[in-house]
A and B are shown apart, each in its own frame.
Chain A
């Protein structure tokens, strides 16, 4: 008898985009065969497992932040803590503009960073990119991938070089 390989259904969002899971602190994807009984990351124990479309989710050790619809910071990855010199425990509940500002002077108004974040946090925005810089720091710019994540609905901002 031919043995069938166990397959895992691909999770997709309402738009049919493939969703991937990752830890909101270390960014590591949970083990595929692990039974997800807890939302807490089994790898580092310091983050909750979130989902985001595959084209937005952090790859490797890309730093990222999670922001809610009120533009408050909800999570800062370990890499982003190091990059921005902030501690997640102090950054949580603060406005995202306390840490990152738009840095693309040519961007049209509709593409404003905060608008993109609110759209993404409502779960309706398609993945977008923006140029940002750390607050009170000039000459340092990052490309940011912005898209929805959750649960619950929030915006994921992944910093890329």
Chain B
């Protein structure tokens, strides 16, 4: 289901007949091709992106216009998916995602094709329409299937997600599913529960972080749930994802972190928060340094 061919920098450069330095210069100037990183932090380019650029370069008048044409070629997957879902064709929707996965990682396929397609359908038909309901159900099922096929947890990291969404018809619910998928694929053990219940889950999961995701459940209920989690598990990093009215990096009153709106950005932030906390706890790393303009701000140690 999730096969994607990737190229190392030297391989991608050879395919485009340019030097690796030129390829890195293009990444800085044009933001394309956009590599992922391997476990060793090396660039990994998706073959589809590089091939699309190679074809566009042959007929282009500039690198910019070739990049624009290559991007356009890749965006056809979104058009196909929107068309399939709007006409209630499950098989064609699955095929569109297969095509997207041939060119991109799972994370980018979800962020660049699946979620934008659902956004477009929601804007076009409204989220109380039949096409939206159909598309949301299909997307939810696709994301859950992808989660089941994710590799088993390899990191000593458990994340408890308090699901405060309204479920399928709620656009945030798909972003939360995607967030769970990305965390799972990065090796973490993820458990999502409605914010209403807790039972013995905290003891059995021993979470390293808690995320409250979605805006449907009112603040009072969420606060009560968070209090019960803290009581059971002690002080844990707590973060908000897609919780309306909470913007900026942190909730001023509670110190709860507000994660980025995109599932991929949010999952990267959460992993960084947990890693920072572990570093602080064991004294392995220096205090985090944030750049504000030209000034370095060192976070105060607890």
Residues of A within 8 A of B (CB): 24-25, 37-40, 45-48, 50, 66, 68, 74-76, 88-89, 91-93, 150, 152, 154
Contacts and interface: CB of A to CB of B under 8 A. Distances in A.
A45 B61 contact: no
B18 A154 contact: no
B65 A92 contact: yes
B3 interface: no
A72 to B, nearest CB: 9
A92 B57 contact: no
B58 interface: yes
Nearest to A50: B61
B227 interface: no
Interface stretch (B19-27, B35-43, B91-99, B266-274): B19-27
Given A25-B62, A74-B62, A75-B62, A46 B68 contact: no
Nearest to A37: B17
Interface of B: 16-19, 21-22, 25-26, 29-30, 57-68
A89 B18 contact: no
A46 to B, nearest CB: 6
7 contacts: A38-B17, A39-B57, A40-B63, A74-B62, A75-B64, A75-B65, A91-B64
Contacts of B67: 89
A89 B29 contact: yes
Given A74-B65, A92-B62, A45 B57 contact: no
Nearest to A45: B22
Given A39-B57, A93-B68, 4 more contacts: A48-B60, A66-B61, A74-B61, A92-B64
Contacts of A45: 18-19, 21-22, 25-26
A48 B61 contact: yes
A66 B62 contact: yes
A24 B62 CA distance: 6
Contacts of A74: 60-62, 64-65
Contacts of B58: 39
Nearest to A38: B17
A46 B17 contact: no
Given A25-B62, A74-B65, A93-B68, A46 B18 contact: no
Nearest to B23: A45
B29 A46 contact: yes
Nearest to A154: B61
Nearest to B59: A152
Contacts of B61: 24, 48, 50, 66, 68, 74-75, 150, 152, 154
A88 B68 contact: no
A40 B61 CA distance: 10
Nearest to B64: A92
Contact of B65 (A37, A39, A46, A93): A93
Contacts of B63: 25, 40, 46-48
Contacts of A93: 65, 68
B120 to A, nearest CB: 21
Contacts of B59: 152
Please name the 5 residue pairs, one residue from A and one from B, whose CB atoms are nearest each other, closest first: A75-B62, A45-B22, A38-B17, A74-B61, A92-B64
B64 A88 contact: yes
